[in-house]
Chains A and B, each alone.
Chain A
């Protein structure tokens, strides 16, 4: 083994150890932006190892076209694997979570290794690209916008101007009548997605806006079945789901 192979092995082993953390830590809630950063670190380690491994081999550039295709596809699969849903199997089961990490590492390694096998420098470009994707996700992939300043008084509102603060108990009743069939009695999910920890993804205003104007297949119950106050109450209840 030459020096580059040894360095690559050390980097790869350190990154694998980092990726195994969920087994020891269990299911701990980590904010999605932090999660993206941790993923970026794992991918960076694996990509660096891939570049070093490729550098330790002799390259034949003419035979490299398939390597380039693999290097370009790896980042897309990594983005899909970074699916920032807290309730996916990958995130809620420690071993699934580790499998996800190893998948990301594999793709990072492939991007760096295959890119560098194709041409000197392309491994770096592909590696930086795949890490940048994870880092870019910090500001918006699975991340709801921060609470904004209240709208000016002159701005028209879809709901009535005089809405009391959410009545969570009433919201729970409405939830059981209108939402539980799809989202489960406890909000854990069913035909529809889980709403646990929805507050992480949507603030109260965003949740209200969603209920008022949902995307298919969720039914639009406002205005009609639900009044503006009902919407506020259901959204308030959903925000309490853990």
Chain B
């Protein structure tokens, strides 16, 4: 677990510095030529997703292993694929200067490029290697869950929901909440990985043999099915840590309920087709898909957020919980999940999407989701473990400083995106029109404050880890 979480957080740190550089360049504080900007933006985008995914997979692997047997070799082999993929991506961006982002729109990586063809190839191969590692991981978890719970019915607690009385009277127990997150990640991750490999291989074939045609609308659908889904799955991986971490903080159990099971079913089905909201403005897309996309976007996110956050708040209510850094991060992550989710739901609403989708509103919501949601959940889970092991928590001053840095700086950072997005500043531009540079400056300041808070948090984690093993639980 720590290999995965440590690697994820190390990649995150590098990508955060790259992100600060990008926003500072947009603010006009640092001169960065557009070609370099788009290369760094490509690296930053895919790097952040990979970082969060690797950290989340580590958390989830550990939690699943508490319940059932897993083969450690596969975790290391998958890790090897991730490392190889990351190296390939770095080669494509740094010497190769690839700059077409990870959710590129065909034929963009092949037409009018300023980077050599091999850089596009290295990019595609790197992404494919990461996907292969991810699919290995998903297949292992899926196999273990199916074996443990006796197939799909047991894994998804279908009998528990539809025949609750008979299920309970038979002395059977549904999977714990974290196993729903694992099941949905593994199941949808397998689908997402398959789709990612289809579009990745097709583009690679097109690169080698340009006579092989690719339908641009098909390519966009698959690219976003893959990209949108995997970005969302990083959240569901991290949520597993919440289901186990909060009970450790509050000393109350987080039980599976029929509502929780149904909410995860909704996510299971709808997260795969929620990406349709990325294609509302594609006139060639079939109209029914647009309406389904709006409904799916709501149903993928809202039920599971409501049930999980409600359960989390009820756990804390009058529990006498100590607000350690672990607890702060877990609850702070819930706020980030809700705020980012609301931003996503607004973007998924067709009349708003037309105005907001090509603006900084979209990076606003996914930065909230990843930075103030997924990252905080991951840190929260890590800190709960570290605090448990040390039998100690950070002092009040440290909690205030980290809190101000990561919540205050983070809020300043993401809200500058929202405001600029609402003002119509376009996304994915090296040079932004007014008022973009002003808000890029505010975002840079917020990101620097966040980074300082994050650095303090890392130092504090190291300090706690070096303490002798405590006997008193948090």
Binding site for B on A (CB under 8 A): 61-62, 64-65, 68-69, 71-73, 75-76, 79-80, 83-85, 87, 115, 118-122, 125-126, 129, 132-133, 136-137, 139-145, 148, 193-195, 198, 201-202, 206, 213, 215-216, 218
Our pick among B71, B217, B222 for the contact of A62 (Cβ within 8 Å) is B71
User: Could you show 9 A-B contacts with beta carbons less than 8 Å apart?
Assistant: A76-B201, A83-B209, A118-B139, A119-B142, A122-B142, A140-B214, A140-B222, A144-B213, A213-B112
5 closest A-B pairs (Cβ-Cβ)? A140-B218, A119-B143, A140-B215, A79-B201, A201-B213
- Docked Cα-Cα span, A64 to B147, in Å, equals 14
Complex: chain A residue closest to B136, CB-CB: A72
* A71 engages B139 (CB within 8 Å): yes
Q: Smallest Cβ distance from B5 to chain A, in angstroms?
A: 23
Contacts of A195 in B (CB 8 A): 211
> Given the interface contacts A79-B201, A85-B212, A119-B147, does A68 sit within 8 Å of B140 by beta carbon?
yes
Contacts of A218 in B (CB 8 A): 210
Q: Smallest Cβ distance from B98 to chain A, in angstroms?
A: 15
Complex: chain A residue closest to B197, CB-CB: A76
* A69 engages B217 (CB within 8 Å): no
* A79 engages B198 (CB within 8 Å): yes
Q: Smallest Cβ distance from A45 to chain B, in angstroms?
A: 19
Contacts of B195 in A (CB 8 A): 136
Report if B151 contacts A (CB, 8 A).
Answer: yes
> Given the interface contacts A125-B139, A136-B198, does A68 sit within 8 Å of B117 by beta carbon?
no
Q: Which residues B104-163 have CB closer than 8 A to chain A?
A: 110-112, 117, 128, 132, 135-136, 139-140, 142-144, 146-147, 151-152
* A142 engages B212 (CB within 8 Å): yes
Our pick among B151, B212, B217 for the contact of A121 (Cβ within 8 Å) is B151
* B197 engages A140 (CB within 8 Å): no
* A141 engages B211 (CB within 8 Å): no
Summarize B's interface: helix, strand, loop or mixed. helix
Complex: chain B residue closest to A129, CB-CB: B194
Contacts of B219 in A (CB 8 A): 140
* A83 engages B205 (CB within 8 Å): yes
* B217 engages A140 (CB within 8 Å): yes
Report if B190 contacts A (CB, 8 A).
Answer: yes
Report if B74 contacts A (CB, 8 A).
Answer: yes
Contacts of B210 in A (CB 8 A): 193, 215, 218
Contacts of A80 in B (CB 8 A): 201, 205
Of the listed residues B112, B152, B198, B211, the one surrounded by the most CB atoms of chain A closer than 10 A to its CB is B211
Q: Smallest Cβ distance from B395 to chain A, in angstroms?
A: 45
Report if B466 contacts A (CB, 8 A).
Answer: no
Our pick among A121, A133, A206, A215 for the contact of B194 (Cβ within 8 Å) is A133
* A145 engages B197 (CB within 8 Å): no
* A68 engages B132 (CB within 8 Å): no
- Docked Cα-Cα span, A216 to B219, in Å, equals 21
* B198 engages A145 (CB within 8 Å): no
Our pick among B77, B112, B139 for the contact of A122 (Cβ within 8 Å) is B139
* B111 engages A115 (CB within 8 Å): no
Report if B397 contacts A (CB, 8 A).
Answer: no
Q: Which residues B197-234 have CB closer than 8 A to chain A?
A: 197-198, 201-202, 205, 209-219, 222
* A72 engages B135 (CB within 8 Å): yes
Report if B284 contacts A (CB, 8 A).
Answer: yes
* A141 engages B214 (CB within 8 Å): yes
Report if B73 contacts A (CB, 8 A).
Answer: yes
Q: Smallest Cβ distance from B328 to chain A, in angstroms?
A: 39
* B77 engages A115 (CB within 8 Å): no
* A141 engages B202 (CB within 8 Å): yes
Of the listed residues A85, A115, A145, the one surrounded by the most CB atoms of chain B closer than 10 A to its CB is A145
Contacts of A213 in B (CB 8 A): 111-112
* A145 engages B215 (CB within 8 Å): yes
> Given the interface contacts A80-B201, A119-B146, A140-B218, does A72 sit within 8 Å of B71 by beta carbon?
no
Complex: chain A residue closest to B194, CB-CB: A129
* B211 engages A194 (CB within 8 Å): yes
- Docked Cα-Cα span, A186 to B52, in Å, equals 53
Contacts A79-B201, A119-B143, A194-B211 known; 11 new A-B pairs at CB < 8 A? A61-B143, A61-B147, A72-B135, A73-B132, A84-B212, A85-B209, A133-B197, A145-B216, A145-B217, A193-B210, A218-B210
Complex: chain B residue closest to A210, CB-CB: B210
- Docked Cα-Cα span, A25 to B32, in Å, equals 60
* A65 engages B77 (CB within 8 Å): yes
* B211 engages A72 (CB within 8 Å): no
* A121 engages B71 (CB within 8 Å): no
Of the listed residues B110, B191, B205, B222, the one surrounded by the most CB atoms of chain A closer than 10 A to its CB is B205
Complex: chain A residue closest to B71, CB-CB: A65
> Given the interface contacts A72-B136, A129-B194, A215-B111, does A142 sit within 8 Å of B143 by beta carbon?
no
> Given the interface contacts A75-B194, A132-B194, A193-B210, does A140 sit within 8 Å of B142 by beta carbon?
no
Q: Which residues B246-284 have CB closer than 8 A to chain A?
A: 284
Q: Smallest Cβ distance from A60 to chain B, in angstroms?
A: 12
Our pick among A68, A120, A139 for the contact of B215 (Cβ within 8 Å) is A139
> Given the interface contacts A79-B197, A137-B202, A213-B111, does A201 sit within 8 Å of B211 by beta carbon?
yes
Q: Smallest Cβ distance from A113 to chain B, in angstroms?
A: 14
Q: Smallest Cβ distance from A142 to chain B, in angstroms?
A: 5
Complex: chain B residue closest to A193, CB-CB: B211
- Docked Cα-Cα span, A91 to B399, in Å, equals 66
* B142 engages A121 (CB within 8 Å): yes
Complex: chain B residue closest to A218, CB-CB: B210
Q: Smallest Cβ distance from A191 to chain B, in angstroms?
A: 13
Contacts of A194 in B (CB 8 A): 211
